[in-house]
């Protein structure tokens, strides 16, 4: 498993947290995802042999949250 912290500037509320965590839970290979609203970050563990970081970023964009790179 790979651990990653993503900066997501548009996180602002509990609805954002729920939307992001539910979207990431749907991806095979993502083990855990946690949103920190005040820090505007998503901490996740994923199996990089099953899912790429690009797919995770694309999934977040699909639910309306761009990852700052």
Distances (CA, A) of 8 to 39, 46, 60: 9, 17, 9
Domain residues of the chain, as ranges? Answer: 2-62
According to CATH, the topology of domain 2-62 is Alpha-Beta Plaits (3.30.70)
Residue 69 above 90 pLDDT? no
Residues paired with 42 in a beta bridge: 6, 35
> What pTM was computed for the model?
0.90
pLDDT of res. 20: 96
How do residues 5-58 score in pLDDT, each as one tens digit?
999 999 999 999 999 999 999 999 999 999 999 999 999 999 999 999 999 999
Positive/negative CA dihedral, 64, 54, 35, 22: positive
């Amino acid at each position: 498993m790979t651990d990653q912290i993503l900066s997501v500037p548009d996180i602002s509320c509990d609805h954002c947290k729920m939307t992001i965590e539910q979207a990431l839970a749907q991806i095979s290979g993502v083990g855990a995802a946690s949103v920190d609203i005040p820090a505007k970050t998503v901490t996740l563990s994923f199996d990089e042999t099953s899912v790429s970081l690009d797919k995770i970023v694309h999934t977040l964009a699909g639910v309306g949250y761009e990852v700052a790179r």
